[in-house]
Amino acid sequence: KAGVTQTPRYLIKTRGQQVTLSCSPISGHRSVSWYQQTPGQGLQFLFEYFSETQRNKGNFPGRFSGRQFSNSRSEMNVSTLELGDSALYLCASSLEQGNEQFFGPGTRLTVL
């Protein structure tokens, strides 16, 4: 069974731009969560989607948004990029809400 896939793996953007990251969960998994990993703040929860609905949200500004499609694939969007948004963005999927999560390889975003 294929694991969680994330595209693209690497991105370079400039301040003020927006970016969309994509995550395809493990087949059959319906819950997708997003995390941001930075050297300074560590791993922080962004949001969780289940059945196309946002179920839980972390403490991030409204510039960070996401959505989930009917096939459980998810996208997250960051608008008006700031230098501090440079991070590894990890997607995790689970069978249902509350089950153990399996992580993708991440998308490394660099904001110049």
Partner 1 sequence: AQSVAQPEDQVNVAEGNPLTVKCTYSVSGNPYLFWYVQYPNRGLQFLLKYITGDNLVKGSYGFEAEFNKSQTSFHLKKPSALVSDSALYFCAVRPDSTASKLTFGTGTRLQVTL
Of 13-21, 42-50, 62-70, 74-82, the segment contacting partner 1 by CB under 8 A is 42-50
Of 12-20, 53-61, 62-70, 71-79, the segment contacting partner 1 by CB under 8 A is 53-61
Largest CA distance in the chain: 38
Which position has the token pair 């089950």? 99
Q: Contact between 45 and partner 1 (CB under 8 A)?
A: yes
Residues listed for the chain:
112
Distances (CA, A) of 67 to 8, 39, 77: 17, 26, 9
Rounded CA-CA distance 88/69 in Å is 23
Of 14-22, 64-72, 76-84, 89-97, the segment contacting partner 1 by CB under 8 A is 89-97
Question: Where on the chain is the footprint of partner 1 (CB under 8 A)?
Answer: 4, 6, 31, 33, 35, 42-45, 48, 50, 55-56, 58, 90, 92, 94, 97-106
